[in-house]
Amino acid sequence: MKKIFLLLFISLSVSNCKKNWLDTYPPDGPTPANYYQTEGEALTGVNACYDLLSAQLDQLYGLGIDAIGMYCGDECVGGRTAPRDFSAFEQNTMNGSEVTVQNIWRNCYTGIYRCNLLLEKISDLNMDATLKARYKAEAVFLRGYYHFELLKCFGGVPVVTKTLSPDEARVARNSRAETVAQIEADFNAAIPDLPLKSKYGAADAGRVTKGAAQAYLMKLYVFEKRWAEAITVGQAVVDSKEYKLFDDYNDNFSTAKENGSESIFEVQCKTGTGTGEGNAHYDLESFENTPNPRGYTQPLASLRTSYQNNAAGQKDPRRDFTIKVNIISSTLLASYKYNRPQTPQPAIQYDGELNYKLMRYADFLLLLAEAYNESGDAASALTNINLVRQRPNVNMPALSGLAQQAIRQAIYNERKWELAFEGHRYFDLVRWGIAGTVLRAQGRTFIDGKHELMPIPVSEITLNPKLVQNPGY
Amino acid sequence: MKQFFQCFLIPFLLFCAGSVSFAQNITVTGTVVYRPTSEPLIGVTILVKGTPSGAVTDVSGIFKLSAAPDAVLVVSYTGMETQEIPLEGKTSLNIELQDAANALNQVVVVGYGTAQKRDIAGAVSSVGTERLAKRNPRSIEEAFQGEVSGVQITNAGRPGDQATVRIRGYGSLNNNSPLILVDNVEIGRFATVDPNDIESVTVLKDAASAAIYGNRAANGVILITTKKGKGERQTLSYNNWFGWQKSTSKIPMLNASDYVMLINEAVDNVNVDRAASGQTELAHIYSDEEVAKWKGVQGTNWQDELLRTGFMQNHYMNLSTARESSKYGFSLGFTQQDGIYIGTDYTRFYGKFSAEHTFRKKLKLGHNINLAYTKQNTGGDYYVSRVFMMAPTVPVRFKDGSYGFDDKDPGNGDKKNPVAMVDYIDWTNTQNQAYGNIYAEYEFFPGLTFTSRFNFDRRIEEKNYLEHEYRLGNVSQTGFTDVADFKDRTWNTDNFLTFKHLFNNKHSLNATLGTYAFHHYNNYLSAKGFFAPGVTDYVTTLNAVGPNNREIYGQPTEYKILSVFGRAEYNYDSRYYVSATLRRDGTSRFAPDRRWGNFPSVGLAWRLSGEPFMQRLKKISDVKLRASWGELGNSAIGDYDWQSRVSFNQNYVFDNTLAPGAAPTALANQKISWETTTQTNLGLDLGFFADMLTFKIDWYRKDTRDILLFVPQPGTIGAAGSQRQNIGKVRNQGWEFEAKFNPTIRKVNLSIGGNLALVSNKVLDMGGVWYTVGREGYSHIYREGYALRSLWGYKTDGIYQNKAQVEAGPHWPGAGPGDLIFKDINGDGKITADDRTFLGNSIPDFTYGLNLSAEWKGLDFSMLFQGVYGNKIMYANANFGGPGLGNFLYHENLQASALNRWHGEGTSTTQPRLYWRSDPGNNNANSDFFVQDGSYLRLKNLQIGYSLPKKWLKNAGISTFRIYAGGTNLWTLTKYPGFDPEIAMESSDVYGWDYPMAKTWIIGLNLDF
């Protein structure tokens, strides 16, 4: 009798337990294999590709590429000694262990991974064909875009066009030409299926447009000094009549005018979401008014003076649109494009509302002017420069009758004044081949043949020995 | 839940409904007396050997039980020698017990049963009631710290915080915590048990002893039993203690006068370099008038403001009742402690109800229910670091009564007045816990028992954090609240058969066969939100927060284990021992085809002292050789690490509206499986002079392979930075020594015990990867060929005295006279990250303990020394300057050693120059400059007690009345310059900022009725 009960017990214990009793599933997310099954799910996948365009602190444009553009150039110093790598960038003592370069590398490849995953998942999805084409085009453009940001910082990098397993991920760097070719191919592939800015619904404001893809393709050609191709694609943007400079320069930094007529591409920022969509630059530029004032972008005095040393000998109004004299101490300067008096102060630090500008029409026109000038069309170059100079509330005298070299110099200056603190300066100086001369004149270290590129993150080389460090590092 | 019914409850109930029958037994009666006085002994346990049945003596020392005519009775009583008496058909016995000279017969709780110490073949250490009663530990960890070899315990200073417990080194890179069972229940936290309620602590160290716990035994097992109902009469105990605690040390800091001088000097040093490059000079931080004003002024000593003497008390009551077939135990405990940092305190209420009923001598039904409530006020103790950062020139309050701030740096939010923060932040953690078990034991016939236990643990933790709105200088904060609920629910069930029999009085067999199932469910919920300005003095709840920046998290997870296990132990005549264990575990944490693991072990022992040829050597009472080998598993990783999933909230914004995004963010690995530890143990037990002097020596090698490691992956993958993989191998190898000497000299009972554990730890293989963690991301390294978490950084070689010396060799680009000289380890002529190297071991070479106790008449005295040797600590405080080294980034104060700084050629060869707000010479990089010896020896516990003579108390019905006084951490020998060397190896990356350790004095009372 006892034995029977015992056997019964043991057999019940074992047999009643279904084999799957040990199966548990994470309740907070489906497996990728079960996801991307509907149009709506595909859209969340597309949105996630944009997620890496972020101006939150330590993201791509929150002391990422923006920091290199500003601090490695001759715009500013990090002000109060900051816990991050500014002094390394200012002094060109970076060695690849900086958090900033690691974040740029990681964030760009995370973006690329998401684009590739979406492209792989969406191909068999049964959904509206036009929309599907647009989703794919958005992802393809962003893949090219992230590669372009890597190219700017590091030169040729591993080109990744599919999702990789850990075994496949240890790949060597592609050459600069191969990287450029992929970016060009992606931009070209995206252009046909992307809607014009005006063709998107209002709720889609901020998505990549046909104009943005064309403008970035032009920018790539300018970086690669392929002037004729730059002009062709650039002129298409102009002819689309989708873009127009704001009459008021300050509208570029107004929350009311986000994604306005001058906007080609910008990081869509929003405060208070709780999932990190804010813009860190409000606090980075701030000397006062915030819980923990930083003042990490202190303009060099030479930059401020340069606004007055223009050919006309006249003070450029953009000086005071860009730099303010700090109210605490009159000897301190502060940039304030994202920290305007009317910009709302975020409730928590580094969580500003204002969109971070990636490409404005003014930036575009100056790149186009450069392409015209370098290909010998001085008149078209001057037309485009003067558009920027003569927006109503800047209204600097039109330039005329200049030769190619003088126009080149004018473009150098114009970009410096127009686009200060928007993360372009260092990349422009390098592109123009004058970084060494300009930066050494400012007392900064710059070794030609080395400091044109950032070091590949040392941590990445450790993990992937096939990566070869940039020269000099 | 349905499956739970199907799997366990239904069979359990069916089993309980099973029939009951009787065997052919005789009834035995007897008395037990104390040999020296012939007084009857109450509450003596008499067990029928090889069975769980037995009896307990009543007030007259009389017992009655039924047993087979050829049975052997085991008579045991705390503090007395255990006797084995063959019945040989007798029905009446007179038994005399004497004080235990021979500890070997002590019964020790082991995995799924008990064993006599003599018969233990594995490496097992235990601390029994006698020892605990003399220590009156304030926490469970304290109960065995320094008492047991091979167990390293590192206390946390903050009241209510968990200590770190490590058995035989560090095997895993994940979780090195041992499995801790309180009355067979795995509880998440020690802290909820009142230490007065502990009956015994057993530590299972080697594979042979721990293997029956298979899947989580790789880091060793600690078994804690609490006091239950026992004896044949009612007993009531009341214990209390009152104590005072203060920081074990204070760190000498600069006074205001020196601080003002040095911060200006730091600016001067900057100006030397600025002048050289043609830049304008910076003004002094403190003007000449201010310097004159501060001259000779001490200023605020923030340690005095923030550290205090904390009062604490404990009350404990235990009632034990036994009737013929029922035993009841009831315990209540209350503890209250004020932390030594202002604003911190801890309160605990503890209650336990246990009962056991025997039905027709065959079926036992029982339960243990523990309830605990704890509340921890963490106050502003996040601001412990501010104790050192605050400048001595800052007053706690300004003259107008408002909180002080540094008017030289009014906008610095990283250095808020810590006294103010205690006021502005309300932060409590409360925990409600109910745990325990219900169980049934059924004896089919003497020797064969079936046990079914259902164990549960339900825990609800609440965090309530409220930060009031404030403004300090230019730093302002909007009020906010951040609350979290942490709900944890665990059940598990053990069902096992035990067969014990002694054949022909020679062949002893003990076999166990069982199943085990475990389910853990945890749900975490947290929410945070900001209040409208100006309202936080009267609104405190989430309902009042504004719409922006709300944060909500919720994450339920679950985890299951299913196991079968078996163990057979055989010994011949208590001379030759063989045991074998096999446990098969399946876990939900691995993919179905990877989740099952088999964990075998074998043990052998030879008790030479049982051999006839040893009987002539009367002085040698015990010699035993032990050997064991076994494999144990570890799956202490995330619940879903093998499953890839899409994460939501990868959001973006379109048209200023949040647009939901989703993408996988982690890199799952379906191939992961058990991390396995193979342990070999060789041991020798020796006893002399009837075990008055005993030795225990163990050697072990513990190899952990297939370590479940997050292996960093190249960024080009794009998902997460790393992936879980089974990779690598870590070896812990060491020796353990324990010695005890218990002589009685002129009626003084002396006891001297010592233990020593040597361990060497080394990473044998990490699959070619290595990584660093800690301060600045590289102060500690995990790398092949080094011990786990070795210190990593640059080597230095004194201080540059002049410019020529700087130029003469490789140096940092900005280095100048007064900076540390960094060594070019790889000889490439540059100082780069490649020059980082091994700086020391963070795991001690050995740990040791020494306890002494003496009893004479009613007086008792005990002391315990405990220490570690050979570990190094990176004593550098991230970003905030180091010990006497700083760049005043936050205008922080410095340790007084900063006065030895370099300030001109020949002024210092040990402390570099000060440099205001930057560090061109990289003096703050992790280097041997910061490495300190973490060795210490401390008087962990000291106690003197006096028990009133029993004859005085007899009429009052009191059996024990003992008063005592003592203390902990009273004396420490160490070279470590920080607050306290007893800091956990893995507790913090910012060494030197930990909550300080306390020195305590207590007085107390033990009263038994």
DSSP for B593-636, written as a single string:
TT-EEEEEEEEEEEEGGGSGGGTT-TTEEEEEEEEEEEEEEE--
Testing the interface with A: which of B530, B672, B716 to mutate, by most A Cβ within 10 A? B716
Instruction: Give the CA radius of gyration of chain A.
Output: 25
Q: How many other CB atoms are there within 10 angstroms of residue B770's CB atom?
A: 16
Q: Are B343 and B305 in contact (CB under 8 A)?
A: no
Higher pLDDT, B983 or B194: B194
Whether residue B718 and residue A31 make contact (CB cut-off 8 A), yes or no, is no
Q: Could you tell me which chain B residue has the CA closest to the CA of A35?
A: B646
Q: How far apart are CA B538 and CA B481, in angstroms?
A: 13
Q: How far apart are CA A469 and CA A169, in angstroms?
A: 17
Residue B566, exposed/middle/buried by CB under 10 A (0-12, 13-18, 19+)? middle
Whether residue B558 and residue A80 make contact (CB cut-off 8 A), yes or no, is no
Total CB pairs under 8 A between chain A and B: 265
- What's the pLDDT at B10? 44
Whether residue A22 and residue B664 make contact (CB cut-off 8 A), yes or no, is no
- What's the pLDDT at B44? 81
| Alpha-carbon gap: A445 to the closest alpha carbon of chain B (Å) | 11
Q: How far apart are CA B825 and CA B41, in angstroms?
A: 72
Q: Are B67 and B446 in contact (CB under 8 A)?
A: yes
Residue A458, exposed/middle/buried by CB under 10 A (0-12, 13-18, 19+)? buried
Query: Considering only A311-315, B310-314, B328-332, B722-726, which range has the smallest mean pLDDT?
Result: A311-315
Q: What is the mean pLDDT of residues B977-1006?
A: 72
Nearest-by-Cβ selection for A24 from B8, B450, B558: B558
Structure tokens at B271: 């100006």
Give B917's contacts in chain A (Cβ within 8 Å).
80-81
Report pLDDT digits (tens) over B536-581. 677 788 888 888 778 888 889 999 999 999 999 999 988 999 999 9
Q: How far apart are CA A245 and CA A48, in angstroms?
A: 30
Q: How far apart are CA B90 and CA B625, in angstroms?
A: 36
Read off φ and ψ for residue B87, nearest 5 degrees: -75, -40
Nearest-by-Cβ selection for A463 from B411, B661, B714: B714
| Alpha-carbon gap: A430 to the closest alpha carbon of chain B (Å) | 23
Structure tokens at B371: 């309830």
Q: Could you tell me which chain B residue has the CA closest to the CA of A20?
A: B592
Q: How many other CB atoms are there within 10 angstroms of residue A393's CB atom?
A: 13
Q: Does A403 touch chain B (CB under 8 A)?
A: no
**Tally: H helices and E strands in chain A:** 18, 6
Q: Does B591 touch chain A (CB under 8 A)?
A: no
- Per 3-state DSSP, what percentage of chain B is helix, strand, and coil (rounded to 5)? 15, 50, 40
Whether residue A277 and residue B663 make contact (CB cut-off 8 A), yes or no, is no
Give B3's contacts in chain A (Cβ within 8 Å).
17-18, 21
Q: How far apart are CA B353 and CA B349, in angstroms?
A: 14
| Alpha-carbon gap: B22 to the closest alpha carbon of chain A (Å) | 12
pLDDT band at A17 (very low <50, low <70, confident <90, very high): low
Share above pLDDT 70 across residues of chain A, in percent, rounded to a whole number = 90
Give B517's contacts in chain A (Cβ within 8 Å).
17
| Alpha-carbon gap: A52 to the closest alpha carbon of chain B (Å) | 9
Report pLDDT digits (tens) over B694-740. 999 999 999 999 988 888 888 999 877 788 889 889 999 999 999 98
Q: Are B318 and B960 in contact (CB under 8 A)?
A: no
Q: Could you tell me which chain B residue has the CA closest to the CA of A207?
A: B654
The 3-state DSSP class for residue B541 equals coil
Q: Could you tell me which chain B residue has the CA closest to the CA of A143?
A: B718
Q: How far apart are CA B894 and CA B143, in angstroms?
A: 38
Whether residue A206 and residue B654 make contact (CB cut-off 8 A), yes or no, is yes
Q: How far apart are CA B984 and CA B154, in angstroms?
A: 6
Whether residue B11 and residue A12 make contact (CB cut-off 8 A), yes or no, is yes
- What's the pLDDT at B649? 87
Nearest-by-Cβ selection for A460 from B7, B15, B714: B714
Read off φ and ψ for residue B723, nearest 5 degrees: -135, 140
Distance of CA A418 to the CA centre of its chain: 18
According to DSSP, residue B400 is labeled T
Please, what is the angle between helix A176-190 and helix A210-223, to 10°?
160
Whether residue B718 and residue A164 make contact (CB cut-off 8 A), yes or no, is yes
Q: What is the mean pLDDT of residues B735-753?
A: 88
Q: How far apart are CA A356 and CA A375, in angstroms?
A: 32
Testing the interface with A: which of B478, B520, B521, B652 to mutate, by most A Cβ within 10 A? B652
- Please determine, for residue B421, whether its predicted confidence score (pLDDT) is greater than 60: yes
pLDDT band at B959 (very low <50, low <70, confident <90, very high): confident
Element (DSSP H or E) covering residue B582: strand B576-587
> Scanning the structure block, which residue is given the tokens 């209650």?
B351
Q: Could you tell me which chain A residue has the CA closest to the CA of B6?
A: A16
Q: Does B768 touch chain A (CB under 8 A)?
A: no
- Please determine, for residue A213, whether its predicted confidence score (pLDDT) is greater than 70: yes
C-alpha distances (whole Å) from A60 to each of A108, A255, A343 are: 8, 21, 22
According to DSSP, residue B805 is labeled H
Testing the interface with B: which of A1, A3, A4, A5 to mutate, by most B Cβ within 10 A? A5
Whether residue A21 and residue B3 make contact (CB cut-off 8 A), yes or no, is yes
Read off φ and ψ for residue A189, nearest 5 degrees: -70, -30
Query: Considering only A78-82, A305-309, B680-684, which range has the smallest mean pLDDT?
Result: A78-82
Residues contacting A329, CB < 8 A, separation 6+ = none
Counted residue by residue, chain A has a size of: 473
User: Which of these, B225, B230, B241, B240, lies nearest to B319 by C-alpha position?
Assistant: B230
Q: Are A105 and A147 in contact (CB under 8 A)?
A: no
According to DSSP, residue B233 is labeled S
Q: List, as ranges, residues 651-690 from B with C-beta within 8 Å of A.
A: 651-664, 667
Read off φ and ψ for residue B89, nearest 5 degrees: 85, -10
Whether residue B650 and residue A48 make contact (CB cut-off 8 A), yes or no, is yes
Q: What is the mean pLDDT of residues B418-425?
A: 90
Whether residue A274 and residue B414 make contact (CB cut-off 8 A), yes or no, is no
> Scanning the structure block, which residue is given the tokens 């986000």?
A258
Q: How far apart are CA B711 and CA A462, in angstroms?
A: 12
What does pTM read for this prediction? Answer: 0.80
User: Which of these, A399, A407, A430, A376, lies nearest to A72 by C-alpha position?
Assistant: A430
| Angle at the Cα of B141 from the Cα atoms of B138 and B146, rounded to 5 degrees | 105
Q: Are B168 and B218 in contact (CB under 8 A)?
A: no
Please, what is the angle between helix A210-223 and helix A227-239, to 10°?
160
Q: Are B265 and B912 in contact (CB under 8 A)?
A: no
Share above pLDDT 90 across residues of chain A, in percent, rounded to a whole number = 64
C-alpha distances (whole Å) from A205 to each of A43, A268, B146, B892 are: 15, 9, 67, 47
- Please determine, for residue B220, whether its predicted confidence score (pLDDT) is greater than 60: yes
Nearest-by-Cβ selection for A463 from B412, B475, B712: B712
Counted residue by residue, chain B has a size of: 1009
Testing the interface with B: which of A49, A51, A209, A296 to mutate, by most B Cβ within 10 A? A51
Q: How far apart are CA B567 and CA B325, in angstroms?
A: 31
Read off φ and ψ for residue A113, nearest 5 degrees: -60, -45
> Scanning the structure block, which residue is given the tokens 């920091």?
A67
Q: What is the mean pLDDT of residues A278-302?
A: 73
Give A28's contacts in chain B (Cβ within 8 Å).
555, 645, 647-648
Whether residue B716 and residue A31 make contact (CB cut-off 8 A), yes or no, is no
Q: Does B879 touch chain A (CB under 8 A)?
A: yes
- What's the pLDDT at B880? 43
DSSP H helical segments within A240-317, as ranges? 281-284, 301-306
Q: Does A268 touch chain B (CB under 8 A)?
A: yes
Give B662's contacts in chain A (Cβ within 8 Å).
29, 35, 41, 44-45, 47-48
| Alpha-carbon gap: B223 to the closest alpha carbon of chain A (Å) | 26
Testing the interface with B: which of A1, A4, A8, A28 to mutate, by most B Cβ within 10 A? A28
Give A460's contacts in chain B (Cβ within 8 Å).
714-715
Beta B179-182 vs B221-226: how paired, if at all?
Answer: parallel
Q: Are B603 and B576 in contact (CB under 8 A)?
A: no
Q: What is the mean pLDDT of residues B504-529?
A: 92
Beta B185-186 vs B113-116: how paired, if at all?
Answer: unpaired
Q: What is the mean pLDDT of residues A275-290?
A: 78
E strand map for B271-387: 310-322, 326-338, 345-359, 363-377
- Please determine, for residue A1, whether its predicted confidence score (pLDDT) is greater than 60: no
What is the value of ipTM here, to two decimals? 0.92
- What is the secondary structure of B490-501 as a DSSP string? EEEEEEEEEEEE
User: Which of these, B886, B893, B958, lies nearest to B915 by C-alpha position?
Assistant: B886
Give A445's contacts in chain B (Cβ within 8 Å).
813
- What's the pLDDT at A15? 45
- What is the secondary structure of B5-74 as a DSSP string? IIIIIHHHHHHHT--------EEEEEEEEETTTTEE-SS-EEEETTSS-EEE--TTSEEEEEE-TT-EEE
Q: How far apart are CA A102 and CA B718, in angstroms?
A: 13
Q: How far apart are CA B301 and CA B256, in angstroms?
A: 9
Q: Does B643 touch chain A (CB under 8 A)?
A: yes
According to DSSP, residue B989 is labeled S
- What's the pLDDT at B926? 87
| Alpha-carbon gap: B3 to the closest alpha carbon of chain A (Å) | 7
Read off φ and ψ for residue B777, nearest 5 degrees: 85, 0
Q: Are B672 and B680 in contact (CB under 8 A)?
A: no
Q: How far apart are CA B542 and CA B527, in angstroms?
A: 8
User: Which of these, A24, A314, A283, lies nearest to B641 by C-alpha position?
Assistant: A24
Q: How far apart are CA B668 and CA B720, in angstroms?
A: 9
